[in-house]
Amino acid sequence: MKKDTLGEVLRFGIVGAISTALHYGIYWVLQHWMNVNIAYTIGYGLSFLVNYYLTAHFTFHEKATKRNGVGFGGAHLFNYCLQIVLLNFWLWIGLSKEIAPLGVYAIAVPTNFLLVRFVFKHFKHDE
């Protein structure tokens, strides 16, 4: 793995840990008072905003632009759908609502890295 790519992976891991902790924390609090899908969605939305700016500036050392914002949003729309399906699958097979998101993250985080990296590398030279 090239040094630049390794640095991106490490920075992505840091940003991912922050965003995932924020997402899970919001979800964990809200799932006690509302439907888990709604709690998960609210947590996802709030962590998405933090994730975008940290990903642009810290992970890929890029400006936040309309183009990479739209691409990032598209990647995260796919990622959100994947996560909701996985969350409900883990709940369906019997994982507790507190533990189910951990199984989601194990699959969705690596997938998200590939999608987001493509967005920031593919749309690097705009605006």
61 sits in the region (left: phi over 0; alpha: psi -120 to 50; else beta) called left
Strands in the chain per DSSP E? none
**Residue 23 and residue 84 in contact, taking contact as beta carbons nearer than 8 Å:** no
Q: Is residue 64 part of a domain?
A: yes
Q: Is residue 46 part of a domain?
A: yes
Q: Is residue 127 part of a domain?
A: no
Q: Is residue 114 part of a domain?
A: yes
User: For residues 125 and 62, which has the higher predicted lDDT (pLDDT)?
Assistant: 62
Mean per-residue pLDDT for 32-61? 94
Q: Is the pLDDT of residue 125 over 70?
A: no
83-112 pLDDT per residue, tens: 999 999 999 999 999 999 999 999 998 888
Task: Domain count for the chain, please give it.
Answer: 1
Structure pTM? 0.83
Q: Is residue 101 part of a domain?
A: yes
Domain ranges, residue 92: 3-122
Q: Of 58-62, 112-116, 119-123, which has the strongest mean pLDDT?
A: 58-62
Q: Is residue 77 part of a domain?
A: yes
